[in-house]
Chain A
Amino acid sequence: MKVEMSKSFQVMAPIEKVWDFLSDIEQVTPCLPGAELGEALDENRHSVKITVKVGPIKSSYKGEVTIANLDAVNHQLSIQGKGTDVKGKGGATMELVGVLTAIDDNVTEVKGDSTVTITGLLAQFGSRMVVDVSNMMFDQFTACVKSRLEADGDQEAAASKPVAGMSVAAAALKGVVSRGVASARDKIGLGKALSEDEG
């Protein structure tokens, strides 16, 4: 399945500071929920492991990220990622294009368009939740980036712990379960009777 997302957020920091952060894979990776950066394969390629839990499916993807384009003048970057589930249950690929725009000297807008393709067990069973999980992951990523760039020195140290993948799943799950259950009930004609219970 394909998930396409277009997102933007603003950071209270000058554009060069944001650029330096986002274009440095070692700095940015800890902000990706569930991600662990591995060794550098060459200048633009790193091995990476990402663990995502969607409903009952926990998938750990081992793969690599490639920085395909880094345009410091226009503040544009594109990243490609691909990974295989470590237990052979599927794979995923990602393409991300990011653009930074200075709103003013101290505010930067980050805009990202991404396409994620998922194959295997996660797609089969998580399809109804993947979008919600992706949204949650993005929100956590945003919060992390902000906290690092907007914080002063002390807080920065406190925030250097990677964002856990698991908590994302739990929050996203809450959002979809009620909706998923309701739609399944609709199909079998119980939707009306039970939806009131859920209030």
Chain B
Amino acid sequence: MTELKTSAEIGGMGHSVKRKEDPRFIRGRGNYVDDVVRPGMLYMAIVRSPYAHAKILSINSEKALAHPGVAAVITGETLKEYNLHWMPTLMSDTQMVLPIEKVMYQAQEVAAVIATSRYAAADGVELVEVEYEPLEVVIDPFKALEPGAPVLRTDKEGQKDNRIFHWEAGDKAATDKAFKDADVTISQDIYIPRIHVASIETCGIVAEFDSVEGQLTLWMTSQAPHAHRTVFAMVAGHVGLSEEKIRIISPDIGGGFGGKVPIYPGYVIAIAATVVTGSPIKWVEHRRENLQADSFGRDYHMHAELAADKDGTMKALRIKTIADHGYTDAATQPSKWPAGLFAIATGSYPFEAAFCEVDGVYTNKPPGGIAYRCSFRVTEAIHAIERLVDILADDLGMDPAELRMKNFIPPEAFPYKSVLGLEYDSGNYAGALKLAMEKIGYHDLLKEQKEKRERGELMGIGISSFTEVVGAGPSKDFDILGLKMFDSAEIRIHPTGKVLVRIGVQSQGQGHETTFGQIVAEELGIPVSDIKVEHGDTDTAPYGLGTYASRSTPVAGAATAMASRKIRDKAKKIAAYLLEVSEDDLDWEPGKFFVKGVPDKAKTIQEIAFAAYTNHPQGMEAGLEAVSYYDPPNMTFPFGSYICVVDIDSGTGQVKIRRFMAVDDCGNIINPMIVEGQIHGGLTMGMAPALMEEISYDEEGNIYGGSFMEYLMPTAMETPNWETAKTCTPSPHHPIGAKGVGESATVGAPPAIVNAVVDALSHLGVRHLEIPLTPEKVWRAINGL
């Protein structure tokens, strides 16, 4: 466990400090985008396409404009006048803001109605008449790649097919040879379906343009306000928007999970609308728009293979993936990583050879491919490897825990360079699995399962020993549209010893206002209650790339520690001056410098802060503040072992998670209570796609799962009692030894659940099941249908 260096009053690392943001949330005093009201504000609603692929023959706004309260109808033609009808995606692809010629997916934005009330805007949407001519729809990504398939992106010069990119990693020849030489090879097709983050707050914006000052202020559901501002300035520079005159405020955000990283057409239309009308414009999605048109996660069709020796030693891994990105590549991967960090596919095991390839494909589906509570395609990669390990165990007649223990990368091998090119910072995989097995009573469960199986009852035990790669990232490899993925912190100590911390990342519920204060408390010994953390306003926060992919603690957390240390260095100089000793004669304990061997001769950090403004040494600049832009030397690699026990009703196929033991290791912990909350939420969000959630499409491109009537999200009712435990293997390169944790459970939970269900049915010949494991699917498997 993380060693406590500060008192509970100071509340540094390892203390379960209560979240500073919660009082305003539980008293209904949070301030979300929809709470923002501006004088003279108009409301926007969007007309969306019922067709997945169609020519637009005409758009008739007459009736809508005649409706009381409707002020304007904006179409692609309106935006074309300002050359704003197209925009770049974060993956350097292009996306329509509003269409001129054709629509490419169901629910695509077709026009926007601006009105004096939300009701009038919604009525206006009903009255806009659009004439379509349906075109051939391409939904299946495999068919999209077949020769002769209609080329969807006719707007892209030189685009001859529907392939977006081809990415590969590893040594193909060595991998092929290892497969040829292997005793045992297994292969499995695995599909990770489209799902949606379905955060409690949908996306929205209030856009206000001051035509006199040329100032554009945006209250926006943004996980990356600085990056978004830079993109707006670059895209709309030609209409007079300039970066210093754009202010993005990302206020309280009701869940991001990657869904608020992309720039959606609705934001851009609202900005155009405020510039054109001169009135503030509010647009907030309704739930169906959010589920249907906002970026999805996953949608990876994988063909995964593993080669091993007869004794279970894993030798080689090969995965070929078709990634369905929809109509444009609007994913949110770092620019050099079109398939994200899929290279983590070798997982917790030391393969001698591996080769992975991913082809991105255009289809007539909504765009996306965001990192849904997952550091860039890690969930997909870990699902593949953890399923393969279980299939191998089944084929070899080995216990899956024993097979994992036999193969794990040993603790002494770190830092470990994987054959797919990642350098794992630290890990103790066997330690985590051993603890999980002890905590859940693994061997007793095996016995129980055997007895139950003899009685005809279906019980399964599933393990997942995952490793993640989070904290993008080192600037040599990681950027988004050229913006390097460093992050920042700016700390000011006021004369009275109170603190203002401003960070480049921003919170969507992670508790930054608490945890970043705790980092400063740890480093400077100032009570966390005296520290105010601000974020999310581009006018005040230092530049940063935003919060997603578990990067806040690894990158901005490190920046906060480094800035604190700069302050401590200056404080030491002031303390030496005040105590009339040399700096070398001073020792530090949290909250004060004292003369070595004379603990009474001391200056507290508060006294030093006051002196910095009232009695600083001659020749030294006054004040006590520091800035750090932290460029991490490597990613961090949190890991864990999860064990899931399921009981299955053989009559209905209903899966019940009886127990779920999650052992996580995220290095040093800043706030154990918040980590616990992250794990609980992550496990629930991991269970969701494993058992319930899926967005699918029929041949015509109709969206199924486009409302909460069909998109089955777990509530407290469906959520089992999660059991958790921790091991602690600090990151060697991170200033406070911490790793990201927000996404571990989302990555680790699905394979544990699937492995448990397949285990329960393995004696019936079931070798693999695709998620979500709905009662119908499980019932069919039980009955061999």
Q: Is the CB of B709 within 8 A of A125?
A: yes
B703 at the interface (CB under 8 A from A): yes
Tell me, in angstroms, the Cα distance from A186 to B712 when the chains sit together: 11
A161 at the interface (CB under 8 A from B): no
Q: Is the CB of A91 within 8 A of B134?
A: yes
Q: Is the CB of A124 within 8 A of B700?
A: no
- The stretch that binds B, out of A16-24, A38-46, A67-75, A80-88, is A80-88
Given A186-B775, A188-B718, A120 contacting B712 (CB threshold 8 A): no
Residues in A with CB closer than 8 Å to B712 are 184, 187-188
- B654's partner among A88, A125, A189 (CB-CB below 8 A) is A189
Least distance between A125 CB and chain B CB atoms (Å):
7
Given A87-B126, A186-B775, A192-B652, A120 contacting B51 (CB threshold 8 A): yes
Q: Is the CB of A91 within 8 A of B704?
A: no
A101 at the interface (CB under 8 A from B): no
Residues in B with CB closer than 8 Å to A155 are none
- B50's partner among A117, A121, A191 (CB-CB below 8 A) is A121
Tell me, in angstroms, the Cα distance from A91 to B133 when the chains sit together: 10
Tell me, in angstroms, the Cα distance from A117 to B47 when the chains sit together: 23
A174 at the interface (CB under 8 A from B): no
Q: Is the CB of A124 within 8 A of B652?
A: no
A89 at the interface (CB under 8 A from B): yes
Among A87, A124, A125, A184, find the residue whose CB has the most chain B CB atoms closer than 10 A: A124
Q: Is the CB of A2 within 8 A of B699?
A: yes
Least distance between A93 CB and chain B CB atoms (Å):
9
- A120's partner among B50, B126, B717, B775 (CB-CB below 8 A) is B50
Q: Is the CB of A186 within 8 A of B703?
A: no
A90 at the interface (CB under 8 A from B): yes
Tell me, in angstroms, the Cα distance from A65 to B560 when the chains sit together: 70
A127 at the interface (CB under 8 A from B): yes
A83-111 contacts to B (CB < 8 Å): 84-85, 87-91
Residues in B with CB closer than 8 Å to A124 are 106, 702-704, 706-707
Residues in A with CB closer than 8 Å to B692 are 187-188
Q: Is the CB of B699 within 8 A of A120?
A: no
Q: Is the CB of A84 within 8 A of B132?
A: yes
Q: Is the CB of A85 within 8 A of B654?
A: no
Residues in B with CB closer than 8 Å to A1 are 698, 700, 702
B774 at the interface (CB under 8 A from A): yes
Q: Is the CB of A187 within 8 A of B774?
A: yes
B128 at the interface (CB under 8 A from A): yes
A119 at the interface (CB under 8 A from B): yes
Residues in B with CB closer than 8 Å to A191 are 652, 654, 775
B270 at the interface (CB under 8 A from A): no
Residue of A nearest to B712 (CB): A187
Range for the number of chain A residues in contact with chain B = 20 to 34
B638-672 contacts to A (CB < 8 Å): 649, 652, 654, 656
Residues in A with CB closer than 8 Å to B701 are 119
Q: Is the CB of B51 within 8 A of A91?
A: yes
Among A85, A90, A186, A188, find the residue whose CB has the most chain B CB atoms closer than 10 A: A188
Tell me, in angstroms, the Cα distance from A191 to B51 when the chains sit together: 34
A123 at the interface (CB under 8 A from B): yes
A128-180 contacts to B (CB < 8 Å): none
Least distance between A127 CB and chain B CB atoms (Å):
7
B129 at the interface (CB under 8 A from A): yes
Residues in B with CB closer than 8 Å to A90 are 50-51
Secondary structure class of chain B's binding surface, majority of residues:
loop
B703-724 contacts to A (CB < 8 Å): 703-704, 706-707, 709, 712, 714, 717-718
B45 at the interface (CB under 8 A from A): no
Tell me, in angstroms, the Cα distance from A120 to B111 when the chains sit together: 17
- A119's partner among B131, B700, B706 (CB-CB below 8 A) is B700
Residues in A with CB closer than 8 Å to B130 are 88
Residues in A with CB closer than 8 Å to B47 are 88
Tell me, in angstroms, the Cα distance from A186 to B649 when the chains sit together: 11
B107-159 contacts to A (CB < 8 Å): 126, 128-132, 134
Q: Is the CB of A187 within 8 A of B704?
A: no
Tell me, in angstroms, the Cα distance from A199 to B651 when the chains sit together: 18
A179-197 contacts to B (CB < 8 Å): 184, 186-192
Least distance between B314 CB and chain A CB atoms (Å):
36
A-contact 0/1 string along B34-73, CB 8 Å cutoff: 0000000000000100111000000000000000000000
A-contact 0/1 string along B422-451, CB 8 Å cutoff: 000000000000000000000000000000
Tell me, in angstroms, the Cα distance from A37 to B714 when the chains sit together: 47
Residues in B with CB closer than 8 Å to A127 are 702, 704
Least distance between B416 CB and chain A CB atoms (Å):
42
Given A1-B698, A1-B702, A125-B707, A119 contacting B50 (CB threshold 8 A): yes
Residues in B with CB closer than 8 Å to A120 are 50-51, 106, 702
Residues in A with CB closer than 8 Å to B52 are 119
A-contact 0/1 string along B745-785, CB 8 Å cutoff: 00000000000000000000000000000111000000000
Residues in A with CB closer than 8 Å to B51 are 90-91, 119-120
Least distance between A180 CB and chain B CB atoms (Å):
9
Residue of A nearest to B107 (CB): A124
Residues in B with CB closer than 8 Å to A187 are 692, 712, 774-775
Residues in B with CB closer than 8 Å to A189 are 654, 656, 717-718
Tell me, in angstroms, the Cα distance from A52 to B452 when the chains sit together: 52
Tell me, in angstroms, the Cα distance from A124 to B287 when the chains sit together: 14
Residues in B with CB closer than 8 Å to A85 are 50
Given A120-B51, A127-B704, A189-B718, A88 contacting B652 (CB threshold 8 A): no
Residues in B with CB closer than 8 Å to A192 are 649, 652, 654
Residues in B with CB closer than 8 Å to A118 are 700, 702
Q: Is the CB of A91 within 8 A of B50?
A: yes
Among B50, B129, B706, find the residue whose CB has the most chain A CB atoms closer than 10 A: B50
Residues in A with CB closer than 8 Å to B717 are 188-190
Residues in A with CB closer than 8 Å to B649 are 192
Least distance between B638 CB and chain A CB atoms (Å):
31
Tell me, in angstroms, the Cα distance from A73 to B671 when the chains sit together: 84
Residue of A nearest to B47 (CB): A88
Least distance between A51 CB and chain B CB atoms (Å):
16
Residues in B with CB closer than 8 Å to A121 are 50
Among A84, A120, A121, A186, find the residue whose CB has the most chain B CB atoms closer than 10 A: A120
10 residue pairs A–B, Cβ–Cβ below 8 Å: A85-B50, A88-B129, A123-B700, A124-B106, A124-B706, A127-B702, A189-B656, A190-B717, A191-B654, A192-B649
Interface residues of B (CB under 8 A from A): 47, 50-52, 106, 126, 128-132, 134, 649, 652, 654, 656, 692, 698-704, 706-707, 709, 712, 714, 717-718, 774-776
Given A88-B130, A191-B652, A192-B654, 17 other A-B residues pairs in contact with their CB atoms under 8 A: A1-B702, A2-B699, A87-B126, A88-B132, A91-B134, A118-B700, A119-B50, A119-B52, A119-B702, A123-B700, A124-B106, A124-B706, A124-B707, A186-B654, A187-B775, A191-B654, A191-B775
